[in-house]
């Protein structure tokens, strides 16, 4: 990194006088080349990324089914949102889900990453076992957990019966549906968090740990005093990344509970989907989306700010 | 990542060269006592999926559930005859590969230009691209649907490909790497009279194998496993991807668990095989999605 940066700076030194003569022609060629090179990507990203954001904002002030032209209704969608009990329930449940999912995933991932960082025979296999849910699709995960959680036939209730514990409803119980989704998504995301922590641990220089050992610092203390603080940037990243994804939960809910029973697992994006494609109220869906966008942006900014303030080592 | 002060002092101070104790001794490590149950817990859902897919319907309805009496392949034959899994896998492959190629080409061109060419408006354009990185897909999808309807692309594979052909993440990732390559390499080629495109293709891209592979893997995974967009952009079974197809199949086979699981296994096989074969590479790619 440092060598490249130095080379870069050297390359930027003022050109010798002889070379400035053809500068205008070179400049124009650069403008043409630059625009030619970026235009395919910029056009695609503009068409499918930037324009839709503004368009979506406009939609949120309309009554539209997304197929025929909409009618302007001012802030009616936002006013309706204020007094829509299901919207607020979905918002509360999205927060509930995120507040469980994010910390559980992170707290479990750290010890597992430390374990997988040890030198033990068979480590390739152990790592694979932890990582493989990362590439398992959300649809497949949903199908598999529908079976595991099946109240009549599933193995989890069978195990509970064997232990003499009461049978549970899981996805079919309003009180348990969302916590059951949390367990399922933690299984699916744990490997991702472990990968991030593991790569951060592997960046902890071995000399540092050796020096600590030399000074009589035990393994446990070395973890708390050296490794854990050095994981702070990874934690900051995961906090933001997992929260963004938690606020956008949809696939797993769609495949398993369909937001039920009795809206018990309806989260914001699921509600948005329902409004747009079941009730054909695209304007209201766009308004929900706009609120979600603002929330995600705010959460990200706050977390990045907190992360920067609490990081024990200033990143230079 | 940048070095910290603590790390730097350790580098200079801790060069005593002491080796960690342990290593290859005869006794198995006690860590296995934690690692084995952990692996079992993480693998259990997938193992159950496979076991159920080779059980008979009666065995699946037993309570408590047990091991299958033998390998009942007929579940797979039934799944494949009742759901066009081959066709869905082909659709997913077409969509994912097109998006990978699109990202490699368009993001390389744009990433290179943003990193190395000084042209009017480059800064504004780059910031605009970065801004879309923050936008959740759920906001974009409603107008995108309208755009594609105007282009008569709804319910085609094209509707699944077009929005993912170039991603802001790809442009950003590659731009970072182009910035890190020493300028001298490029200048030598330019002085020899090679044009921008030629320099990019012949000199720079060959140096970027690992990062291009990373971009390919991340694009492939996200497109292959995508669900929400296919769900709203495609309706006819003939145009479904494997994930959407599986979800549709689930709706039709809710009570026949072995056949449903045979379909689920089928949908996961390609990525699982790729993952087991190239685990290190997958892991490195996923790790680099976190740290630029």
pLDDT at B11: 37
pLDDT at A210: 81
- Contact list, A143 vs chain B (CB under 8 Å): 49, 246, 250, 260-261, 264
Please compute the mean of the pLDDT values over residues B136-154 and round it to a whole number: 90
- Residue-wise pLDDT tens digits, B60-70: 877 777 788 88
B224 touches chain A (CB under 8 A): yes
Tens-binned pLDDT, residue by residue, of chain A (316 aa) = 334 444 444 444 444 444 445 556 667 888 888 899 999 999 999 999 889 999 999 999 998 888 888 889 888 999 999 999 999 999 999 999 999 999 999 999 999 999 999 888 889 899 999 999 999 999 999 999 999 998 888 888 888 888 888 888 899 888 899 999 999 999 999 999 999 999 888 888 888 888 888 888 887 888 888 888 888 888 888 998 899 999 999 999 999 998 888 888 999 999 999 999 999 999 999 999 999 999 999 988 888 787 776 655 444 3
DSSP-assigned letters across all residues of B183-206: HHHHHHHHHTT--HHHHIIIIIGG
A30 touches chain B (CB under 8 A): yes
- Residue-wise pLDDT tens digits, B2-22: 333 343 333 333 333 334 444
B48 touches chain A (CB under 8 A): yes
Are A77 and A272 spatial neighbours (Cβ–Cβ below 8 Å)? Answer: no
Q: Do A292 and B138 touch (CB under 8 A)?
A: yes
Are B135 and B144 spatial neighbours (Cβ–Cβ below 8 Å)? Answer: no
Q: Which of residues 252-271 of A touch B (CB under 8 A)?
A: 254-255, 269
Q: Which of residues 295-314 of A touch B (CB under 8 A)?
A: 296-297, 300, 313-314
Are B110 and B171 spatial neighbours (Cβ–Cβ below 8 Å)? Answer: yes
B61 touches chain A (CB under 8 A): yes
Q: Do A7 and B182 touch (CB under 8 A)?
A: yes
- Residue-wise pLDDT tens digits, B238-281: 999 999 999 999 888 877 889 999 999 999 998 988 888 888 88
Number of Cβ atoms within 10 Å of the Cβ of B78:
17
pLDDT at A310: 60
Pairwise pLDDT comparison (B170 vs A311), residue with the higher score: B170
Cross-chain CB nearest to B180 (options A1, A122, A127): A1
> Which chain A residue shows the shortest CA-CA distance from B126?
A42
Are B99 and B161 spatial neighbours (Cβ–Cβ below 8 Å)? Answer: yes
Q: Which of residues 163-182 of A touch B (CB under 8 A)?
A: none
Q: What's the pLDDT band for B49 if we cut at 50, 70, 90?
A: very high
Structure tokens at B126: 């780059």
B251 touches chain A (CB under 8 A): no
Q: Do A147 and B52 touch (CB under 8 A)?
A: yes
Cross-chain CB nearest to A30 (options B106, B119, B264): B119
Question: How many Cβ pairs within 8 Å bridge chains A and B?
Answer: 333
ipTM of the complex: 0.83
Q: Do B48 and A286 touch (CB under 8 A)?
A: no
Q: Do B63 and A316 touch (CB under 8 A)?
A: no
The alpha-carbon gap from B11 to the nearest alpha carbon of chain A, in Å, equals 6
| Cα A241 to Cα B210: distance, rounded to the nearest angstrom | 24
The alpha-carbon gap from A117 to the nearest alpha carbon of chain B, in Å, equals 11
pLDDT at A25: 64
What is the sign of the dihedral through the CA atoms of B168, B170, B176 and B179?
negative
Number of Cβ atoms within 10 Å of the Cβ of A257:
24
Are A205 and A191 spatial neighbours (Cβ–Cβ below 8 Å)? Answer: no
- Residue-wise pLDDT tens digits, B96-105: 999 999 999 9
Q: Which of residues 84-123 of A touch B (CB under 8 A)?
A: 112, 115, 118-122
Q: Do A130 and B39 touch (CB under 8 A)?
A: yes
- Whether the bond into A261 is cis, omega within 30 of 0: yes
- Residue-wise pLDDT tens digits, B112-122: 999 988 888 88
Chain center to CA of A237: 10
| Cα B282 to Cα B132: distance, rounded to the nearest angstrom | 26
| Cα A96 to Cα A238: distance, rounded to the nearest angstrom | 18
């Amino acid at each position: 990194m440092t060598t490249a940066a130095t080379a870069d700076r050297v390359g930027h030194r003022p050109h010798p006088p002889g070379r400035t003569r053809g500068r205008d022609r070179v400049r124009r060629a650069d403008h043409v080349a630059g625009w030619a090179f970026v235009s395919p990507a910029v056009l695609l990203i503009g068409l499918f990324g930037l324009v839709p954001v503004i368009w979506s904002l406009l939609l949120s002030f309309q009554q539209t089914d997304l197929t025929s032209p909409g009618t302007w209704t001012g802030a009616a969608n936002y006013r309706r949102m204020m007094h829509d009990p299901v919207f607020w329930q979905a918002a509360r449940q999205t927060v509930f889900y995120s507040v469980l999912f994010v910390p559980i995933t992170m707290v479990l991932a750290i010890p597992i990453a430390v374990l997988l960082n040890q030198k033990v025979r068979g480590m390739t296999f152990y790592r694979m076992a932890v990582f493989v849910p990362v590439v398992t699709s959300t649809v497949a995960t949903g199908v598999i957990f529908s079976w595991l959680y099946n109240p009549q036939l599933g193995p989890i209730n069978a195990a509970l019966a064997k232990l003499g514990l009461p049978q549970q409803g899981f996805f079919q119980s309003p009180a348990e549906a969302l916590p059951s989704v949390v367990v399922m998504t933690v299984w699916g995301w744990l490997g991702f968090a472990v990968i991030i922590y593991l790569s951060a641990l592997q960046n902890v220089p071995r000399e540092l740990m050796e020096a600590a050992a030399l000074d009589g610092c035990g393994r446990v203390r070395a973890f708390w005093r050296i490794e854990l603080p050095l994981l702070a940037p990874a934690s900051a990243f995961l906090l933001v990344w997992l929260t963004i994804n938690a606020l956008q939960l949809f696939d797993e809910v769609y495949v398993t509970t369909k937001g039920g029973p009795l809206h018990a697992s309806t989260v914001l994006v699921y509600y948005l989907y329902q409004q747009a494609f079941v009730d054909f109220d695209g304007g209201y869906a766009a308004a929900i989306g706009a609120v979600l966008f603002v929330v995600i942006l705010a959460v990200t900014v706050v977390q990045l700010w907190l992360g920067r303030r609490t990081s024990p080592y200033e990143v230079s | 990542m940048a070095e910290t002060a603590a790390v730097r002092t350790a580098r200079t101070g801790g060069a005593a060269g002491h080796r960690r104790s342990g290593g290859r001794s005869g006794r198995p490590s006690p860590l296995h006592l934690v690692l084995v149950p952990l692996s079992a817990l993480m693998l259990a859902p997938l193992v159950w999926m496979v076991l159920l897919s080779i059980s008979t319907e009666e065995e699946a309805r037993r309570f408590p559930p047990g091991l299958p009496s033998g390998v009942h392949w007929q579940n797979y034959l039934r799944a494949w005859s009742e759901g066009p899994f081959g066709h869905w896998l082909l659709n997913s492959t077409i969509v994912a590969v097109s998006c990978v190629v699109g990202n490699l080409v368009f993001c390389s061109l744009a990433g290179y230009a943003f990193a190395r060419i000084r042209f009017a408006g480059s800064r504004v354009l780059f910031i605009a691209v970065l801004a879309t990185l923050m936008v959740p897909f759920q906001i974009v999808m409603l107008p995108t649907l309208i755009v594609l309807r105007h282009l008569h692309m709804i319910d085609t594979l094209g509707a699944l490909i077009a929005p993912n052909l170039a991603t802001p993440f790809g442009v950003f990732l590659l731009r970072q790497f182009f910035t890190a390559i020493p300028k001298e390499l490029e200048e030598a080629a330019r002085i020899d009279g090679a044009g921008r495109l030629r320099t990019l293709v012949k000199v720079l891209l060959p140096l970027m194998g690992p990062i291009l592979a990373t971009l390919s893997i991340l694009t492939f995974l996200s497109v292959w496993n995508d669900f929400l967009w296919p769900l709203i952009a495609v309706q006819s079974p003939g145009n479904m991807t494997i994930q959407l197809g599986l979800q549709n199949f689930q709706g039709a086979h809710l009570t026949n668990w072995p056949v449903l699981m045979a379909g689920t296994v089928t949908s996961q096989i390609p990525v699982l095989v790729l993952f087991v074969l190239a685990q290190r590479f997958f892991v490195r790619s996923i790790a680099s999605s976190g740290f630029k």
